[in-house]
Amino acid sequence: MGNKPLKRFNEIESKSGYLKLLTPTQCVMDRLAAYYYWNDRQSLEQAILVAKNHEIDFDEIEMWSDEEGMKGKYDEFKKRCP
């Protein structure tokens, strides 16, 4: 997600073993990266849907967005979230 490396994951156990997953916050950041860098409006809509249906860390996303130089696009995302 931009220049930020992943350091933590969610995990679920299946019959085949453990599966590492993005956290909801990381999922939003991934979708926002597509919106930020490729102006992919569908990815913005996906980020909003995840944010509306899961607990996410808006402070972390805002800080990351600032580091990526995308404050304006973050503000658009934030005003459309609950």
Tell me the per-residue pLDDT of 46-78, one tens digit each, with 9 for 90 and over.
999 999 999 999 999 999 999 999 999 999 999
The label of the residue with tokens 């972390």 reads 60
Round to whole Å and give the CA distance between 80 and 44. Answer: 10
What are the counts of helices (DSSP H) followed by strands (DSSP E) for the chain? 4, 2
CA separation (Å) from 72 to 5, 17, 69? 23, 41, 8
pTM for the full predicted model: 0.83
- For residues 39-46, give the mean pLDDT: 98
pLDDT at 57: 95
Residue extents of the structural domains in the chain: 22-79
Judged against a pLDDT cut of 70, whether residue 1 lies above it is answered with no
